[in-house]
Amino acid sequence: MNAAIVLRTLELLHNKEKAKVSAGFFKTGKGEYGEGDIFLGITVPESRKIAKRYSTIPLSEILLLLQNKIHECRLVALLILVEKFKTSNLLQQKEIVNFYLENTKHINNWDLVDLSADKIIGAYLFDRENSKENKEKTFLLDLAKSNHLWERRISIISTFYFIKKNKFNETLRIAEILLHDKHDLIHKAVGWMLREIGKRNKTIEEEFLKKHYKTMPRTMLRYALERFPEEERKEYLKKKN
């Protein structure tokens, strides 16, 4: 099994109508964040099935998929990495994490980040939370301070794994770094993660909001407040600067 076989499998599922819709949805026009991205119109469930089928291909072949201009090709590469990570030992997981971090320039749209970051980076760091390798979490801070949009999104989405384990400090720490980010896609990601904290512990989310809501971007605040009762939502938005 190799990258060429995976690519042929994907091409057989090419759907022009869906591809056109995806190209618009993921902002592929000139000057947009997904400029130049090519779509085949393959759904995420279909991509997951292909990833599971070819989950044994080596990292060298996954790299070829990840370097491809076709969006679903890169998505399948990342979904294969997720599958590999689940069944790998500690050394193999570290290799996968290093591979992921070395190739963030190819993880260049929000769905690619959102379907992989917490399952690889987040899972890896969580399992080492109380180990001597805890210092490795500092690379999340480096990603959060990156000039690269998608690395910043990786930093906050990676903490979703911690949230699902009812650990919130990592998310709150990264959220504070990204609080005044200029990009709408970061505002949405941070707001989403704050909302996820609130689903599990509203008190902790509210503590963060009361400290920062007046200065955080409006989109971030709206996303964070989505599950709040309407009156509470309106009150926050009314008081915001």
Model confidence band, residue 219 (pLDDT cutoffs 50, 70, 90): very high
String of b and e for 73-96 (b: at least 16 CB within 10 Å)?
A: bbbbbbbbbbbbbeeeeeeebeeb
Are 195 and 227 spatial neighbours (Cβ–Cβ below 8 Å)? yes
Q: How far apart are CA 10 and CA 41, in angstroms?
A: 10
Are 14 and 47 spatial neighbours (Cβ–Cβ below 8 Å)? no
Structural domains of the chain sorted by starting position, each given as residue range(s) with its CATH number in brackets: 1-100 (1.20.1660), 116-241 (1.25.10.90)
Q: How far apart are CA 95 and CA 101, in angstroms?
A: 10
Provide the pLDDT for residue 206: 96
Token couple for 136: 């490795």
Q: How far apart are CA 116 and CA 202, in angstroms?
A: 26
β partners of residue 38: 70
Per-residue pLDDT tens digits for 115-159? 999 999 999 999 876 555 555 668 899 999 999 999 999 999 999
Provide the pLDDT for residue 60: 96
* Confidence check: pLDDT of 184 > 90: yes
pTM for this predicted structure: 0.94
